[in-house]
Amino acid sequence: MIAALIAAAAVSAACNLEKPSGQPGCTRAAVDALPMNAIQAIGTHNSYKMAIAPNEMAMIRAANAREADGIDYSHPPLTQQLDAGARQLEIDIVYDPDTGLYAGPTGFKMAGANAVPYDFAPYRQPGLKVVHEPSVDYRVTCPLFTQCLKEVRAWSQKHRDHVPLLILLNLKEGGISMPGAIKAPVFDAKAMDLIDAEIRSVFPEASLITPDQVQGKHATLREAAGAGAWPRLRDARGKVMIALDCPPAQVARYRGERKVLEGRAAFVNIEEGSPAAAYITLNEPKEQAARIAAAVKAGLIVRTRADADTREARTNDTSRQTAAFASGAQYISTDYMTPDTRFGPYVAKLPGGGAARLSPVQPGS
């Protein structure tokens, strides 16, 4: 931890960590000496999500206007988000053991002859699928999990100096309560292994930051994080870290009988005191400000949110994002890297610009 503080002291708070200017306090050598958990970057929430077709949105709004407001957002393809400076992405995946479960969404069927065309062919292919809600909010930019990962991998290979990317995974199970709704199966042990298999089918080990790499010879991942074992930026550039942003029951299934996360490709969202703790999701930067700062100081990587459910965009309320950036969380998620002009000028951008900056709260401080 002391080494991390010394490295941070050599870097200006205004330095663009991805493209150091070469000026005092912003040299490549000083920046590359930073541990990867010393940075702060912006990213996107439900990064794969396209807009719901207007006539299907009208049906949702008629049934539940508040729910409709909360899901009335979309994102461009992942490549465009990365080009714009996103360094954290979020992908929701569903298990499809018999293949084809998600190829006929209820909302599309209800729209009948007026349904907006959509290509369901990828959903008839084997593998994990990407979807927000399988019956009514199913339109995505990359329907196959491996397709999303390949898009990120292709971008990363073209931009090898990027700061480490964080990809969060939500594992969707069940579905909404309505006649004919699709119910996503539980992620059992076989499905959990499939997650790792698909990740490693796209990303070679050398391109990943994994729990085993960080833990090293430490007894636990938590001990390693507390000891400052995260890779320095010189070693983390061009790499991807994946974390399961999941509830405890799913985390337990992913860990299985492991003491920590031995052999797994992804980190997990888990309480700060767990042997497997190195990453945690704390999405309320106002209410959880003290907890976020404490987690960062203890060596964990934290993701929080600048906005949620379109509320801030509709009122142009920037107080939550101000709290998020001040919290010290390394990755700040937004639905508005660009404004939605239907609502107003609301936008979330990293203070000072650029893709990554020195976090205002440092590990070990």
| HEC readout, 160-225 | CCCCCEEEEEEECCECCCCCCCCCECCCCHHHHHHHHHHHHHHCCHHHEECHHHHHCCCCCHHHHH
Q: What is the predicted pLDDT for the residue at 2?
A: 72
Structure tokens belonging to residue 9: 């002291």
Residue 303 confidence (pLDDT) above 90: yes
pTM to 2 decimal places: 0.97
Residue 306 Cα distances to 45, 302, 346, 350, angstroms: 10, 13, 11, 11
The residues with which 44 forms a beta bridge, in sequence order, are 334
Confidence grade of residue 339 (pLDDT, cut at 50, 70, 90): very high
Helix (H, G, I), strand (E, B) or coil at 28: helix
Please state, in angstroms and rounded to a whole number, the distance separating the CA atoms of residues 282 and 91. 17
Please state, in angstroms and rounded to a whole number, the distance separating the CA atoms of residues 269 and 221. 13
Please state, in angstroms and rounded to a whole number, the distance separating the CA atoms of residues 259 and 330. 26
The residues with which 274 forms a beta bridge, in sequence order, are none
Beta-strand (E) ranges in 74-179?
88-94, 129-130, 165-171
Q: Which of 6-15, 29-38, 297-306, 355-364 has the lowest mean pLDDT?
A: 6-15
Please state, in angstroms and rounded to a whole number, the distance separating the CA atoms of residues 130 and 143. 5
Please state, in angstroms and rounded to a whole number, the distance separating the CA atoms of residues 201 and 193. 12
Beta carbons of 262 and 208 less than 8 angstroms apart:
no
Q: Which of 28-37, 174-183, 217-226, 253-262 has the lowest mean pLDDT?
A: 174-183
For 254-298, what is each residue's pLDDT tens digit?
999 999 999 999 999 999 999 999 999 999 999 999 999 999 999
Beta carbons of 333 and 45 less than 8 angstroms apart:
yes
Residue for token digits 């900056």? 357
Residue 20 confidence (pLDDT) above 80: yes
The residues with which 241 forms a beta bridge, in sequence order, are 166, 209
For 121-174, what is each residue's pLDDT tens digit?
999 999 999 999 999 999 999 999 999 999 999 999 999 999 999 999 999 999
Residue 344 confidence (pLDDT) above 80: yes
Helix axes 189-202, 145-158, angle to 10 degrees: 30
The residues with which 187 forms a beta bridge, in sequence order, are none
Q: What is the predicted pLDDT for the residue at 349?
A: 96
Query: Considering the chain, what percentage of its residues have pLDDT values greater than 70?
Result: 100
Q: What is the predicted pLDDT for the residue at 232?
A: 98
Beta carbons of 52 and 131 less than 8 angstroms apart:
no
Confidence grade of residue 178 (pLDDT, cut at 50, 70, 90): confident
Q: How many CA atoms lie within 13 A of 256 on its CB side?
A: 13
Beta carbons of 108 and 52 less than 8 angstroms apart:
no
Beta carbons of 12 and 356 less than 8 angstroms apart:
no
Mean pLDDT of 35-63: 97
Task: Please provide residue 154's backbone torsions phi and psi, each rounded to the nearest 5 degrees.
Answer: -65, -45
Confidence grade of residue 8 (pLDDT, cut at 50, 70, 90): confident
Residue 95 confidence (pLDDT) above 90: yes
Residue 180 Cα distances to 58, 93, 201, angstroms: 19, 21, 34
How, if at all, do strands 356-358 and 39-44 pair? antiparallel
Residue 53 confidence (pLDDT) above 80: yes
Mean pLDDT estimate for the chain: 96
